[in-house]
Chain A
Amino acid sequence: MQALRPRLDQEAIGLLRQGALFVLGDEGAAAAGELRRALDEYVELVAGIAAPAGVYITLPLLEIGRDGVSTRAGFIASPMFARFVERCVDPRALTFAVVTIGEAVDSELARDRPLFDRLVLDAVGSVLVEIVADLVEDAWKGELAARGLESGMRVSPGYCDWPVEGQGVVFEALDAGSVGITLSSSCVMIPLKSLSSVTIIAGRVPETSACAFCARAGCAWRRIPASVSKDNNAGEEGASRGEEE
């Protein structure tokens, strides 16, 4: 198991501003001036107080079933993910990861502010935790190519057809407490701006995302167009909307 505390350089901060602007989607609209002002303020605030940290571990893949995949940490109950893994050539292992941007951002989010400011601050926090997850991923993905291996996109409990209770498997796989992340009885990660994930490692990963096996065209979390879905009947049954981070 590896714990990391990635540093936010200027490139990451640039990505943060750009990503938050994309999420808020208002650059050309009537509120553009206010948005730029708020983004300047909250990107600076969050970048100053965030304590990015993450931990990951790679475990062998034990079995691929119809309803999910098995690892030593437990069963990942996601038929869509199982189909995604099944399509991989020589699927070997799963990398479990949890990352956070720390408690100080939660404290800021809890402060009383105008609603517009709260929305912008929340978006900045959500985008930053994704950037930290990317930085942690970069750390372990770097050596994959040299070993002739590929990886897929990360999937998280509470999204698609993987119930949020799947957090238990991720937290069983690694010691999230080592980077200050705890899991509540209702499967909420604390600090709130934290992210947990699983990524497949295989000889070849032909699909970029499990979305290839889902037909929910209007899903807000879709990563590839519905038109390239492999099975238009897949993913509708039992599919859930994403749950809040």
Chain B
Amino acid sequence: MSDDSVSLLEHIRAAVKAHEREDIDGLTSAARAGGASSEDVRGALMAGLDDVRGKLMSNNASIPEFLLCIDTVTGGLNELSSVAREGPADGTTVVIGVVEGDPHDLGKSIIAGVYSAFGYRVVDLGNQVPSGQFVKGVVENQAEVLALSAMMSTTMGEMPVIVNEVKERSPGTVVMLGGAPLDRELAMEYGADGYAESAVTVLEETEAALKKASRA
């Protein structure tokens, strides 16, 4: 890789941190044209995002700023796909959705965005998803992770049913739960492998659950 490419990768990392959504396409194309691999560019995008995530975890960045950075990474990844004519990163597959009867979408979409920006292959089933669709989605995509969201106490009762069905059909799949009416204790009671309170913690929690499952 040339010195120019190395410099461009540094620029990409800095552009993500500064959430320069308009510049990221050009930087991504230029880095590829200069000889950087897709892997290098992805690495630079994620390094920038990880810097911001670190700031967020220490309360030195805000959720709006973090989302701007995720949007910047998404722009870079889309550009990478179009320039390199490649599919998404060959990362861990996560199936995500909101349970039946619950139309709240934003929280789930933010979590899907975090997963995607950090290299997971995300299959987003949307909201108001019947339990059978989750099982189907996990089996068909051979998902390593199922991320379930419910924003209401009236809909979260469906979660243990889905967890049981998924564990029966795909025992190796790690199930993560999240949403306003839940807490860690309830998530564990529902049979989940992990609980994420917010977009700030979802990555660590998922990685910890995956690590724990791989040791089992």
- Interface residues of chain A, those whose CB is within 8 Å of chain B, are 24-26, 29-31, 34-35, 109-110, 114-116, 118-120, 122, 158, 163-165, 184-188, 190, 192, 240-244
Cβ–Cβ < 8 Å partners of A185 in chain B: 101
Q: Is the CB of A243 within 8 A of B67?
A: no
Interchain residue pairs with CB less than 8 A apart (22): A25-B62, A26-B65, A30-B19, A35-B64, A109-B106, A110-B105, A114-B21, A115-B71, A115-B109, A115-B110, A116-B64, A118-B109, A158-B153, A163-B153, A165-B154, A186-B155, A188-B102, A188-B154, A192-B103, A244-B107, A244-B152, A244-B180
Tell me whether B161 is interfacial, beta carbon within 8 Å: no
Chain B residue with Cβ nearest A31: B65
Tally of contact residues, B, Cβ under 8 A: 30
- Interface residues of chain B, those whose CB is within 8 Å of chain A, are 18-19, 21, 61-65, 67-68, 70-71, 74, 101-107, 109-110, 113, 151-155, 180-181
Cβ–Cβ < 8 Å partners of A31 in chain B: 19, 62, 64-65, 68
Count A-B pairs with CB separation below 8 Å. Answer: 90
Q: Is the CB of B109 within 8 A of A240?
A: no
Q: Is the CB of B74 within 8 A of A188?
A: no
The 4 closest A-B pairs by CB, nearest first: A186-B101, A244-B151, A114-B71, A31-B65
The minimal Cβ–Cβ distance linking A165 to chain B, given in whole angstroms, is 7
Q: Is the CB of A119 within 8 A of B63?
A: yes
Give A121 to B71 CA distance when docked, in angstroms: 15
Give A25 to B67 CA distance when docked, in angstroms: 14
Q: Is the CB of B71 within 8 A of A116?
A: yes
Cβ–Cβ < 8 Å partners of A158 in chain B: 152-153
Q: Is the CB of A184 within 8 A of B101?
A: yes
Cβ–Cβ < 8 Å partners of A34 in chain B: 19, 64, 68
> Which of B21, B101, B106, B180 meets A241, CB within 8 Å?
B180
Q: Is the CB of B105 within 8 A of A186?
A: no
Chain B residue with Cβ nearest A245: B104
Cβ–Cβ < 8 Å partners of B109 in chain A: 115, 118
The minimal Cβ–Cβ distance linking A147 to chain B, given in whole angstroms, is 38
Given A115-B113, A116-B68, A119-B110; 6 other pairs, CB 8 A cutoff? A114-B74, A118-B106, A119-B63, A188-B103, A190-B103, A243-B152
The minimal Cβ–Cβ distance linking A5 to chain B, given in whole angstroms, is 25
